[in-house]
Amino acid sequence: MASLYESPKLLGEYLLLHYGGERELCHPALPVPASVTSVPFPVRCVQELLDPALLPSPPSEITALEVGCAVGASAFELARHCHRVEASDYSASFIAAAQRLRSKGHHSATRLLEGTITAQFEAIVPPEIDRTRVSFSVQDATSLPAGMGPFDVLLAANLICRLPDTEAFLSKLAVLVKPGGQLLLTTPFTWLEEYTPRERWIGGINADRRSEEELIRRLSGEFRLHRCRDLPFLIREHERKYQLGIALGTCWIRR
């Protein structure tokens, strides 16, 4: 399967989503609250869903896996709590950018103003984060190497509606999370046939089968729902065009 996330346009948009400040991201007339734009969405996924009180001790042994990490901001955020973070994505260009951010702490990026006019900005990992805790690799989340994990934390942000078989992916999560460990999932349930054949959508076809209830039903056997939050996110296409999504964020505890 070729990645649909290999264009310079998407690389710029995701570097902005992950590392952009309000100055780079926002138009003065943008009618979106600061709570959505002041902290990048991937950072909020960790801040709002991970429950640090439930992490095991000693901290030096806490491990995390992130799948579909894009350009890495949530993996770096996980490293505030977890000593070893394995992060992967199917896009080679996203992982190359994440690896550069890991080694240098910064990466110059391009944001579109209009047409072909662009401006540069610097994506920066917060300096207090120990970047050596994180490793990045190109991997297909639907065929992870056998014997991986289990981990104390697993994060998959806005990935499940980008997979060819969402149910198969969900059914493999339990073996990757330690008993008592945390599974963090976010998804706006944007079902599109270019990613997921219609017969594999877990919901969104009949009004009596909604995706949120189906997600909860499918995970509830092996996990207990601990937190459930709406997590808005803003993808800036150019100076005057944005996509506003509202992901459903959940934190699950492995039984």
Ligand X SMILES: C[S@@+](CC[C@H](N)C(=O)[O-])C[C@H]1O[C@@H](n2cnc3c(N)ncnc32)[C@H](O)[C@@H]1O
- How far apart CA 156 and CA 45 sit, in angstroms, is 10
We find the least distance from the C-beta atom of residue 113 to ligand X, in angstroms, to be 22
We find the least distance from the C-beta atom of residue 3 to ligand X, in angstroms, to be 5
- How far apart CA 74 and CA 247 sit, in angstroms, is 15
Site for ligand X in 133-192 (CB under 6 A): 140-142, 157-159, 162-163
- Secondary structure percentages of the chain, helix, strand, coil, to 5: 35, 30, 35
Number of residues that bind ligand X (CB under 6 A): 20
Q: Which residue of 77, 86, 89, 152 would you call a contact of ligand X, by CB under 6 A? A: 89
We find the least distance from the C-beta atom of residue 60 to ligand X, in angstroms, to be 26
Helix axes 8-19, 92-104, angle to 10 degrees: 40
Residue 133 or 162: the one with the smaller Cβ distance to ligand X is: 162
Q: Which residue of 68, 181, 203, 249 would you call a contact of ligand X, by CB under 6 A? A: 68
Interface with ligand X includes 70 (CB under 6 A)? Answer: yes
- How far apart CA 109 and CA 242 sit, in angstroms, is 18
DSSP 3-state assignment of 153? Answer: strand
We find the least distance from the C-beta atom of residue 255 to ligand X, in angstroms, to be 25
We find the least distance from the C-beta atom of residue 39 to ligand X, in angstroms, to be 13
Residue 37 or 91: the one with the smaller Cβ distance to ligand X is: 91
We find the least distance from the C-beta atom of residue 114 to ligand X, in angstroms, to be 24
Residue 172 or 255: the one with the smaller Cβ distance to ligand X is: 172
Spatial strand order in the sheet of 84-89: 134-138, 84-89, 63-67, 151-157, 177-187, 241-254, 223-238
Indicate the burial class of 236 (C-beta count within 10 angstroms; 0-12, 13-18, 19 or more).
Answer: buried
Beta-bridged to residue 182, according to DSSP, are 153, 253
Q: Which residue of 16, 64, 67, 79 would you call a contact of ligand X, by CB under 6 A? A: 67
Binding mask 1-40 for ligand X (x = CB under 6 A): --x-x-----------x-----------------------
- Helix (H), strand (E) at residue 122: strand 117-124
Q: Which two tokens stand for residue 166?
A: 């969402």
Q: What is the DSSP letter of 133?
A: G
Interface with ligand X includes 62 (CB under 6 A)? Answer: no
We find the least distance from the C-beta atom of residue 179 to ligand X, in angstroms, to be 25
Interface with ligand X includes 42 (CB under 6 A)? Answer: yes
| 69 and 98 Cβ atoms separated by less than 8 Å | yes
The contact set with ligand X (CB under 6 A) reads 3, 5, 17, 42, 67-70, 89-91, 94, 140-142, 157-159, 162-163
